[in-house]
Amino acid sequence: MSNIKELDTKYHLSPMSDWRSIADEGGRTLISRAEGIYLWDTNGRKYLDSMSGLWCVNVGYSCKPVKEAVARQLEILPYYNAFFKTSNLPVANLSKLLSSLCPGDISHFFYGNSGSDANDTVFKLVRAYWQSLEQPQKRVFISRKNSYHGSTVLAAALGGMDSMHALNDLKFEDIHHIAQPYSFDAGRPYNDESFGLECAAALEQKIQELGAENVAAFIGEPIQGAGGVIIPPDSYWPEVQKITKKYNILLISDEVICGFGRTGKWFGGDNWRVKPDIMTMAKGITSGYMPLSAVGISDAVYAVLTNQKKEFSHGYTYSSHPVACEAALANLNYIMETELLETLSEDIIPYFHAKGQELTGHPIVGEVRFKGMLMAFELVANKETRQRFKEDIASICRDFCLDIGFIMRACKHTMVIAPPLIISKEEIDTLFLMILQSFDKTFKKSQGV
């Protein structure tokens, strides 16, 4: 087995990785098998996966209907493109189903393979929209600092991650970033109405500064995931929606993490009755079993884009892929038929939240916040002042988690979890015992014990 590890180190360039450190440390952990909410590596070690892979394996790793649907579709039609006036049954059926699930009148869908390529699609759709309305000067996108919209050049530029901007020198004059609604970081109480309104006002100020006639769209994740599960105050999204309407700016909701049950509702924006003009979807659409993304547009946006005959010169070889679309259909039908979201709301989410709340008293935890099946723990050196640790305490904590036998993600000073939606109460008990152990060990280490 070590031979394979050596080969992996030598030939495989893994994403978001420091390859030099991986080589120095003797290679990566090879994951060989998964079941339910658990993973196993090639040494037979078992890990509870509290991150659903990368926030995507919503139905867990053992969903037979999705596996069978993929196998069936591979036999029938493994691939054909949708470029030249052809389509296929799975994509037609999936589009119909998505139109019934999406908020408002989002009912037309363009497909790709990842959240990143979907946001690139969004950018071009928005350009085409304003050109169609003969307002081509409306070019500017407003996004938030510390947001994540993907890893392609454009999606990373839309995002507000300092590290990605610094590495890639992503200065686009048509992309501007405003403050994020991160109350803990701003020293504000959780779900503070006035803080939500202040953060929304930052959008209005930016629009006025740039001139509404130049601003095309505002893009945001309903809850910032990779930024550290940043849950905005309840006042934030309704106010943002009002502002985008007032200034005639398209509202884009990036539902790549929040979509398909992650927050207990079909979409994250549903928590605040957000009715976007455009939506980005990926990850949970197939629970990660096949790569697929979708961009949904409203009837109004569709009407503008089709007000004249003009090709939308954009597409991917695997757009509308029949196997990926069939996987999505099976995944979404499974969620509906098993009434997974109902079980979550009535039973699992309240239990999950109560368990999280028990950790608020831990000496290293400054705040526990949650929405649906998303949860964040702010790690602090001083609970009263919210002072952070000087060292990279979250990475230290993440390494303890792996030693203990579970996977929890570190986002700067914050530990985050987003377990598969099929997790049971017993498994939640196990998870929180492990989290407690990891916090205890991290606290001891911070005290030099």
Ligand X SMILES: Cc1ncc(COP(=O)(O)O)c(C=O)c1O
- Please report, as ranges, the residues that interact with ligand X according to CB under 6 A: 54, 114-116, 119, 148-151, 221, 225-226, 254, 256-257, 282
Closest separation between CB of residue 15 and ligand X, Å?
9
Q: Which is nearer to ligand X, 410 or 428 (CB)?
A: 410
CB-nearer residue toward ligand X: 178 or 393:
178
Q: What is the number of the residue whose Cβ is closest to ligand X?
A: 115
Neighbours of 108 (CB within 10 A): 19
**Minimal distance in Å, beta carbon 155 to ligand X?**
6
Q: Give least dist CB 156 to ligand X, A.
A: 9
**CB of residue 117 to ligand X, shortest distance in Å:** 7
**Rounded to the nearest 5 degrees, what angle is found at the Cα of 165, between the Cα atoms of 381 and 416?**
40
Dihedral angle computed from the Cα positions of residues 404, 408, 409 and 411, in that order, rounded to the nearest 10 degrees: -90
Shortest approach of ligand X to residue 220 CB, angstroms?
9
Closer by beta carbon to ligand X, 66 or else 257: 257
For 219, 330, 415, the CA distances from 389, given in Å and listed in that order, are 32, 45, 14
Beta bridge partners of 73: none
Q: Exposure string (b/e) for 223-259, b if CB count within 10 Å is 16 or more? A: bbbbbbbbbbbebbbebbbebbeebebbbbbbbbbbb
Beta carbon nearer to ligand X, 221 or 239: 221
Residue placing its CB nearer to ligand X in the complex, 155 or 380: 155
CB of 160 to ligand X, least distance (A): 12
- Distances in Å between the alpha carbon of 30 and those of 40, 43, 417? 9, 8, 22
Phi, psi of 19 (to 5 degrees): -65, -30
Q: To the nearest whole angstrom, how small is the minimum distance from the Cβ of residue 372 to ligand X?
A: 15
Based on CB atoms, which residue is closest to ligand X, 221 or 277? 221
Nearer to ligand X, 244 or 286 (CB): 286
At its nearest, how many Å lie between ligand X and the CB of residue 202? 20
The least distance separating ligand X from the CB of residue 430, rounded to whole angstroms, comes to 26
Nearest approach, Cβ of 148 to ligand X (angstroms)?
5
| CB 31, min distance to ligand X, A | 18
User: How many other C-beta atoms lie within 10 A of the C-beta of residue 195?
Assistant: 21
Which residue number, 121 or 151, has a Cβ lying nearer to ligand X?
Answer: 151
Whichever of 116 and 146 has its CB closer to ligand X, that residue is 116
Give Dmax (Cα) for the chain. Answer: 70
Identify which of residues 290 and 365 has a Cβ nearer to ligand X in the complex. Answer: 290
Q: Which residue lies nearer to ligand X by CB, 225 or 228?
A: 225
Measure the CA–CA gap between 243 and 203, rounded to whole angstroms. 8
